[in-house]
Structure 1
Amino acid sequence: MSQTKSCRGVTRVLAKLEESVRSGKYYEAHQKYRTLYFRYLSQKRFDECLELLYDGSLRLLENDQYSSGADLGLLVVDTLEKTTVNDSEFWIHRLGKLLGKIPSNLVERETLLVKSVKWSSEISKNKIGHPTGHPTMHKVIAQLMWSEGNLEQARHHFLLSKDGNGCGQMLIELSQTKGYPKEIDLFIAQVVLQQLCLKEITSAAETFHTYIKFHPKISRTDPPFVMPLLNFVFFLLKIIESRKLAIFKKLCELYKPSLDRDPSYEKYLEKIGVIFFGAPTPPQRANNGIFGDLINQLFQGLEEEDDDENPTSSSVEADLD
């Protein structure tokens, strides 16, 4: 088939497609979108294909055709996987918009979400080193989940988003709606430790300082805090630059009674000791159910350091002065 005939054929299908949408024949419209997808793909007209599929997905979703709209959304991701776009973040935000149009209880949204994160991980792992997905993709999803009140899922994606300010603000809401007053420090401590395990020092510091600045139940932004764990996290973030294992160990000893409130902290602190302070890698332990799975997800791909330092008896407070 000549290129001219092919173009005329595409023009005819586009005209029929518009008529199908206008008359509410959404099944027909969906099939015509798919037909054009295959034609554009065979002609390597990727930019036109992406625009067509995105527009079609959005139109179908806005007319409550969720399965058909999500299917075209998946074809958007499929096309993105076959080409290289100049502005990947532009398409990340577009995928986020499509996800927001699909009801959260439909399996189609989860499918599109997973595919979108996977594509974003492919474009980001070589450029910025994020095999778990592009931080902007996680930020877009986190904000969507937060807007829908799904704070636990929002927390997961904020953890990978590099958006410390958003993460801190969301944690304030999470602690106020899901936690007890005595757990205010637990909410922030766990997330900061997880961010540090992911080597996200800047995000961890931003999350912590946003949390203590805007949380209505925390009256100050510098120690001494009433809640010991807030003091611990504050000093931990301060001493990371020192890379001194002795100070880190002393800090953990001083706050051990508070750290023992959550058994998961031990594993996080072991990893932090290895990454930032040259502590020896601890013996591998068996997974502990859900917690073990979480740890594996967080630590996958992280490089471990084996150098050790001899601890001294210097106090943490003295070294911080």
Structure 2
Amino acid sequence: MSGKGLEKTLQKLRASVNDGKYYEAQQMYRTVARRYNKQGNFADTIRLLHDGSVLLFQHKQYGSASDLANYMLDTYKLAHTPVDETSLDRIVELLNLFPTADNSRKAFISNAFKWSKNEGNFPEGDPELHDFVGTMLFNEKKFNLAEDHLLLGNNHSAEVIGKLAYQWAEDEKVQWKGVYLARVVFQYLANKDIHHASLAFQNFVKTAGFQTIVAESKVRRAPADSEASSVPVFSDPWMNFTQLLLLTVQRDGKDLFTELKSRYKPLYGNETNFVELIDDIGLAFFNIPKPRKQGNMLQEMMASLFSGGAPGAGGNPLLGLGGGNATSGAELD
């Protein structure tokens, strides 16, 4: 379709919306979009549906607007629209128009990630999109959901997740706020991502402020370094543990890693998720095999015979630490 023809169609549909004929307009948008798609005019379809969705959102017709927004994403998939700045900007604009409490927003987000996985270069979805969604959820104080997206984001995401970890800990009023930092940094390091782990750590410390620092210590960041540099010692043992782990994985420190695990085992040893993450980090950086899980052979055999499945090991939730068995006197070596 020529540009002039599309503009004429858009004007007609906009007039219908502005006249309050919302349902009629929605059906017209869908009918024209189907016709364009059959003709292979995907660019026209996308522009039409995006324009209609924005206009319906502005008129607070959220159900109809969401319907057209998802139809636009379906056309993205049909047309194999690449993940680029233009295609992402349309999604971001529409996401900003969804009411916070609208359940259809979740479906739109899920649909957007399905498209970005199929047409982009990242199996977990586009990092820029994860960053936008994660930051949006962080600003809404939906910390758990935000963390899932920010961990898959970009440099900005890592900075935001450091702030998120501190604010989440503040809201939960835990004894040692660094446990929320540790869960983020350990997940990054388990994927051998030192850069984002460091950004998250730095922004957590920056958000926490100087009140958490009780002293300074000297460390050589690598054996070849002639001079030691200063690093802070924190009142929070989880922050000290996390900092030491970050320093250790940046050098040939297999023995140091093993010592670190032993020294801080009383802090994290009762938390299954942390134990597994530490083992993952040992494998990723130092090629230390993960311990084989020990099971009751008789129970496993009986479970197999009766198709019941082997009993799983218990463990407290990742956030159920509360600092109860933390060693408050742990020092940075």
* TM value normalised by structure 2: 0.76
Match of 1:28 in 2: 24
CA distance in 2, matches of 1:249, 1:115: 44
- Structure 1: runs of 5 or more not aligned: 293-315
Q: Is the 8 A contact 1:194 1:268 kept in 2?
A: yes
Q: 1:267 aligns with which of 273, 276, 279?
A: 276
Query: Is the counterpart of residue 164 in structure 1 residue 125 in structure 2?
Result: no
**How much has 1:205 moved relative to structure 2?**
0.8
2:211 aligned with 1:211? no
Equivalent residues of 2:134, 2:150 under 8 A apart: yes
Deviation string, structure 1 residues 87-128 (Cα, Å, up to 9, x no partner): 62332243133223223333311111111112122233xx3x
Q: Distance in 2 between matches of 1:136 and 1:269?
A: 28
CA contact (8 A) 1:13 1:32 kept: no
Partner AA of 2:131 in structure 1: K
Deviation string, structure 1 residues 256-314 (Cα, Å, up to 9, x no partner)? 1222364421011111111121011443687668999xxxxxxxxxxxxxxxxxxxxxx
* Alpha-carbon distance, 1:84 to partner: 4.5
Equivalent AA in structure 2 for residue 154 of structure 1 = A
Confirm whether residue 150 of structure 1 aligns to residue 142 of structure 2: yes
Q: 2:76 — aligned with what?
A: 80
Structure 1 pair 40/243, CA: closer, same or farther in 2 (3 Å)?
farther
SS at match of 1:120: helix
User: Does residue 201 of structure 1 match 2:210?
Assistant: no
Give the Cα separation in 1 of the matches to 2:118 and 2:314. 29
Distance 1:132 1:282, change over 3 A: farther
Instruction: Note if contact 2:272-2:316 (Cα within 8 Å) is conserved in structure 1.
Output: no
Q: Which residue of 1 aligns with 2:242?
A: 233
3-state SS of the aligned residue for 2:52?
helix
Larger Rg: 2
Q: Secondary structure at the match of 1:242?
A: coil
What is the aligned-residue RMSD (CA, Å)? 2.9
What letter is aligned with 1:171? Answer: A
Asked which structure has the greater RCO (Cα within 8 Å, sep 6+), the reply is: 2
Q: Is the 8 A contact 2:42 2:75 kept in 1?
A: yes
Post-superposition Cα deviations, 1:31-60, rounded to whole Å, max 9, x if no partner, equal 111112112212222222212111111111
Question: Which structure has more helix as a fraction of its residues?
Answer: 1
- Cross-structure match for 1:302: none
Query: What is the aligned counterpart of 2:232 among 223, 237, 240?
Result: 223
Question: 1:190: which partner in 2?
Answer: 183
What TM-score comes out, normalization by structure 1 length?
A: 0.79
Distance change (3 Å), C-alpha of 1:102 and 1:164: same
Matches within 5 A, 1:21-100: 21-85=17-81, 88-100=84-96
Aligned equivalents of 2:107 and 2:316: distance in 1? 25
Matched, 1:122 2:114: no
Deviates more, 1:41-50 or 1:187-196: 41-50
Decide whether aligned partners of structure 1 residues 189 and 67 sit closer, same or farther in structure 2, where only a CA change above 3 A counts: same
Name the % identity. 28
CA distance in 1 between counterparts of 2:187 and 2:203 reads 17
Give deviations 1:170-222, integer Å, cap 9, x for gaps. Answer: 22222222332x13111101111112223322111100011112213434793
The alignment partner of 1:223 has SS state of strand
In structure 2, distance between residues paired with 1:16 and 1:193: 55
Give, in whole Å, the separation in 1 of the partners of 2:206 and 2:193.
20
Q: CA deviation at 1:150?
A: 1.6
